[in-house]
Chains A and B, each alone.
Chain A
Amino acid sequence: MSAALAEHPRAAALSAAGAEHRWPYTPVRDWLASPQAAAEAEALALPLPAHYAPAPDAARGDWQVDAATAHVVRAEAQADWQERQWGWTVPANTQARVVLDTRVAAGAVLDLSLRAQIGAGARLHILRLVDVAAGGHGFETWQFEQAEDSRVDVLEYQVGAGRSHLALNSRLQGAQAEFHWQGLALLGGQARAVAQLRVEHLAPACRSRLELRNVLGGRSRRSVIGNMHVARAGQQTDSAQACHSLLLTPGARVDMRPELEIYADDVQCAHGATSGDLDETALHYLRSRGLDSNTARRLLLESFALPILGTADEGLQAPLRDDAGTRLAQMGADLSAASAARVSARGRGRDQARGRA
């Protein structure tokens, strides 16, 4: 596997992403031996509503996704190299819902390519679940062609400590097509998650929105490139992208690069990014009301992360929020433990000082 992996063009991209930021390289097996590994390796287990039917689990295939069923598409790589090449069509004026459930186990590689044609006036909702375990690699290429008045909504929920690389290109070919992406990533360990999101505004009055929130612990690393291409025909383009990150540990990193290629003159392309650690003043405020530090941290993390999941299907919201809540509580507790160690070291200093006084 490792020889083939080294040849994969994206593997090179992932390594380059790491090199650029000069990460001290720790072999994955060392990290697996560390005590956090067990917590980080908790697999994603969401109960899905009964009306989600499994789609054909073929390696290759084209099929129509439609309103009759909501599909669950699993792309699992337990070991070795798994390839998936799918083509979806969403007929004009229909609605389709898909859960795309991607799991990659330690040592496995998943290479998924997805093409989708979204007909005029059609809507496609995708819930993208990604869980790449430490030592696993997930490579995905998504290509969407959107006809006029179509709309695609992607809600992404990504966890794990592995490496993932997504290259997305959505081509808004018909007037008033819309592309919306909302992503929440809760990453730890040595996770390295790269997303290159490109939206091509090729027709008038199209809209695109990218909103990503990241909660990053351990030595995890998130890279997001939001590439907005506005062709000459893309007058009245309305596009906005935002990326907000909480860096819980000194080793966590995020980089967000907006890239704007604009050939029309009547366009709006907004972009913004923030990153920081948990607000200590807010934390103290909550504790001063009697909340213990774990609860206070969990509340602050949830208030940052959970609003992203608000667009999920009714039946999926509760399991998603529960899963995210559990993971955030764990991330908060790890942080409390680390800061308690710091404070008790300082407390000893204080006692000595008071002893002297």
Chain B
Amino acid sequence: MSSLLEISDLHAEVDGTPILKGLSLTLGAGEVHAVMGPNGSGKSTLAQVLSGREDYEVTAGSIRFDGVDLLDMEPEERAIAGLFLGFQYPVEIPGVSNLNLLKAALNARAKARGEEEPAAATLLGRVREAAASLNISNEMLKRGVNEGFSGGEKKRNEILQMLVLEPRLAVLDETDSGLDIDAIRVVSQGINSLRDPQRSVLLITHFQRLLDHITPDRVHILVDGAIQASGGPELAQELEAEGYARYAPQPA
């Protein structure tokens, strides 16, 4: 009943090429779902469409987030409503420090809610605490957003932003790719620490490895722009053994 995200019959295209072809998925409040699928199946496209990226054109279908039409909202309105996207390829922005970005992001939320901007000390405390749990140094916080970060550092920085922004729905696009074994554990702890009956997570991943740390309520298999199968955590284990062959799209 209390579904936080309801995607129905979503069609989306990039530069005129259809990528999502009738994707439906429902995620309840407090649930963690995993989306798995072969390269190029449309996982990142789904994530980008959820975040409101303008280059992706939704041609049919609907997305409701907490009962409202997500497609009518600007990317920043979605973020303030509680949607967070952890990017598969986090962007480097030299000249805007990680701290400044977090400050601007929290101030934007405060403004939208008519609250006072958080005090600098409160903000710094919150960021430092989250950063420490992810082994992100103060020096890295002061650098430009993701500037010169290694692949794994960028992914940890996404989780840092997630922890500070406390979203209601986190969509994490291959946040586990590029992480070393210890980092996977730390990042999983971060994600698990956010879990509560109100918050949900959509994990896009290629690997069972992450799901050893974060047990999903459901696993969906995305092939050729649509969900071909859904099931419990055992589905991910089956995939690990058998691959995607049996989900190959039927020739028309």
- Which residues of A pack against B, CB within 8 Å? 279-282, 284-293, 295-296, 299-300, 302-304, 306-307, 343, 346, 350, 353-354, 357
A350 lies within 8 A of B59 (CB): yes
A289 lies within 8 A of B60 (CB): no
Complex A-B: 27 CB contacts under 8 Å: A279-B91, A280-B54, A284-B52, A285-B87, A286-B93, A287-B52, A288-B51, A288-B84, A288-B87, A289-B104, A289-B161, A290-B80, A290-B108, A290-B112, A291-B104, A291-B108, A292-B74, A293-B74, A293-B76, A299-B96, A299-B100, A299-B104, A302-B95, A304-B95, A354-B58, A354-B60, A357-B61
- B90 on the A face (CB < 8 A): yes
A300 lies within 8 A of B96 (CB): yes
Set A280, A353, A357: member contacting B55, Cβ < 8 A: A280
A94 to B54, CA, bound (A): 57
**Can you list, as one digit per residue, whether each of B69-104 has a CB less than 8 Å from chain A (1) or not (0)?**
000001110111000110100110111100011001
In the complex, which residues of chain B have a beta carbon less than 8 angstroms from the beta carbon of A346?
A: 57
A300 lies within 8 A of B93 (CB): yes
State which residues 156-203 of B face A: CB under 8 Å. Answer: 161, 165
In the complex, which residues of chain B have a beta carbon less than 8 angstroms from the beta carbon of A281?
A: 91
Given known contacts A285-B90, A286-B101, is B11 in contact with A292 (CB within 8 Å)?
no
Given contacts A279-B91, A306-B95, A353-B59, 9 further A-B contacts (CB under 8 A): A285-B87, A286-B104, A287-B76, A288-B76, A290-B79, A290-B105, A293-B76, A354-B58, A357-B60
Give the residue name and chain of the B residue nearest to A296 (CB). Answer: B76
CB distance from B12 to the nearest CB of A (A): 10
A291 lies within 8 A of B105 (CB): yes
- Which residues of B pack against A, CB within 8 Å? 11, 51-55, 57-61, 74-76, 78-80, 84-85, 87, 90-91, 93-96, 100-101, 104-105, 108-109, 112, 144-145, 161, 165
In the complex, which residues of chain A have a beta carbon less than 8 angstroms from the beta carbon of B75?
A: 284, 287-288
A350 lies within 8 A of B109 (CB): no
In the complex, which residues of chain A have a beta carbon less than 8 angstroms from the beta carbon of B57?
A: 346, 350
A282 lies within 8 A of B104 (CB): no
A208 to B61, CA, bound (A): 60
A304 to B144, CA, bound (A): 12
CB distance from B166 to the nearest CB of A (A): 12
B76 lies within 8 A of A303 (CB): no
Give the residue name and chain of the B residue nearest to A349 (CB). Answer: B57
A280 to B100, CA, bound (A): 19
Set A284, A295, A300: member contacting B108, Cβ < 8 A: A295
CB distance from B48 to the nearest CB of A (A): 8
Given known contacts A303-B93, A303-B144, is B58 in contact with A289 (CB within 8 Å)?
no
Give the residue name and chain of the B residue nearest to A285 (CB). Answer: B91
CB distance from A200 to the nearest CB of B (A): 34
Give the residue name and chain of the A residue nearest to B50 (CB). Answer: A288
Task: Determine chain A's interface SS by DSSP, over half rule.
Answer: helix
A303 lies within 8 A of B60 (CB): no
Give the residue name and chain of the B residue nearest to A299 (CB). Answer: B96
CB distance from B59 to the nearest CB of A (A): 5
Give the residue name and chain of the A residue nearest to B106 (CB). Answer: A290
In the complex, which residues of chain B have a beta carbon less than 8 angstroms from the beta carbon of A357?
A: 11, 59-61
A281 to B87, CA, bound (A): 11
Give the residue name and chain of the B residue nearest to A303 (CB). Answer: B95
Given known contacts A285-B91, A290-B108, A293-B76, is B96 in contact with A303 (CB within 8 Å)?
yes
B165 lies within 8 A of A290 (CB): yes
Set B52, B94, B95, B165: member contacting A289, Cβ < 8 A: B165
A288 lies within 8 A of B52 (CB): yes
CB distance from A283 to the nearest CB of B (A): 9
Give the residue name and chain of the A residue nearest to B112 (CB). Answer: A290
Given known contacts A307-B95, A353-B59, is B105 in contact with A289 (CB within 8 Å)?
yes
Q: Which of B61, B95, B112 lies at the interface centre, i.e. has the most chain A CB atoms within 10 A of its CB?
A: B95
Set A290, A293, A353: member contacting B60, Cβ < 8 A: A353
Give the residue name and chain of the B residue nearest to A301 (CB). Answer: B95
A350 to B80, CA, bound (A): 24
CB distance from B11 to the nearest CB of A (A): 7
Closest 9 CB pairs of A and B: A303-B95, A357-B60, A290-B79, A287-B75, A285-B91, A290-B108, A289-B105, A290-B105, A287-B76
B79 lies within 8 A of A287 (CB): yes
A300 to B145, CA, bound (A): 11
In the complex, which residues of chain A have a beta carbon less than 8 angstroms from the beta carbon of B90?
A: 285
B79 lies within 8 A of A284 (CB): no
In the complex, which residues of chain B have a beta carbon less than 8 angstroms from the beta carbon of A300?
A: 93, 96
B87 lies within 8 A of A303 (CB): no
